[in-house]
Amino acid sequence: MVTSPGGDDVAGRVIIVTGAGRGIGRGIAHHLARSGATVVVGELVARRLSRILTELSEIGGPHLGESCDVRVKEDIDGLVTKALDRFGRIDGLVNNAVTYRGPEPLAEISDEAMDGVYLSGVKAALWGMQSVYPHMARAGWGRIVNVGSSAGIVGLPGFGAYAAAKEAIRGLTRTAAREWAADGIVVNCYCPASYEERSTTEVSPYLAAADARSDRRCGTRHWPGRALPLFRRLPLPHW
C-alpha cells in the first residue's frame, strides 16, 4: 500500500485521466505529471496511448496507461482495478473522454448520435464516479473533476447532442458533490471552450455563426498541444 500524501497538493496523488491521448486530456496528464502526481491514463486509440505514455516517461514519475473504451463499463472498472493493483489507491479522477460526431443542425440529430454522446459522456462519467467512489469513501478523501463544455452553457449551434450531454454531466456533478461531501469527496465540473486553429467557416457554418456571436469570456481558446496553459489558470495543482 502506498502511503497517502497529506494536504490538497497533487504531488504523490494517484489520479486517473480518461481520454488522455489528445487535446485537453493530454494537457491535463502532462500538467499532473509535472506537478508530481502519479498519472493513470485511459485512452482508446492505440497510437495516442503510445504517444502519451512516451511523453509521461520523458516527464518522469510513476504512471500507467491502459486501453479504455469509456462506452464499456467493464473497461472503466478494469482501469480502476489496474490502478489499484499497481498503486494501492485512487485519489483523483478526471472524466474527460467523450466521443461525438461533427456539427449538425438540431432538427437532424439522430437517435444514434444522441445515444452515442450520452453513452460516452454521461453514462461513462457516472460509471467512472461509481467505480472510484467506494475506494475514495473508504479513504475519506477523493477529488473528481468532470469535464463539461461551454457549448452547453451558451447553446452552441450545431452541437445540440454534445451540449445536452455536457449539461447532464453538470447535473451529475452537482448531485455527487452534495451526496459525497460527507465522505470527504469533492466533485467539480469545469466548462472550457475549444476552437480549432483554423477558420471556423472551414469547419461548419454553424460554428462560424456561433463564433461570430459568442461571448469570448465564456471560454478559452485552445487547440491540441496548447491545452496546458489552460490548466495553469485553473486551481491545480491544488484540488
DSSP-based three-state secondary structure for 186: strand
Residue-wise pLDDT tens for the chain (239 aa)? 344 565 558 899 999 999 999 988 999 999 999 999 999 999 999 999 999 999 999 999 999 999 999 999 999 999 999 999 999 999 999 999 998 777 889 999 999 999 999 999 999 999 999 999 999 999 999 999 999 998 888 888 899 999 999 999 999 999 999 999 999 999 999 888 764 443 344 445 555 554 444 333 333 333 333 333 433 344 444 44
| Edge-first strand listing for the sheet containing 92-95 | 63-67, 38-43, 14-18, 92-95, 142-147, 185-190
Beta partners for residue 9, in sequence order:
238
Q: Which residues are catalytic?
A: 162
Q: What is the pLDDT of residue 185?
A: 95
Cβ contact 156:150 at 8 Å: yes
Q: What is the pLDDT of residue 101?
A: 74
Peptide bond between residue 237 and the one before it cis (omega within 30 degrees of 0): yes
Cβ contact 238:9 at 8 Å: yes
Q: What is the pLDDT of residue 1?
A: 33
Helices and strands: H and E segment counts in the chain: 10, 6
Residue the block writes with cell 455527487: 176
Peptide bond between residue 103 and the one before it cis (omega within 30 degrees of 0): no
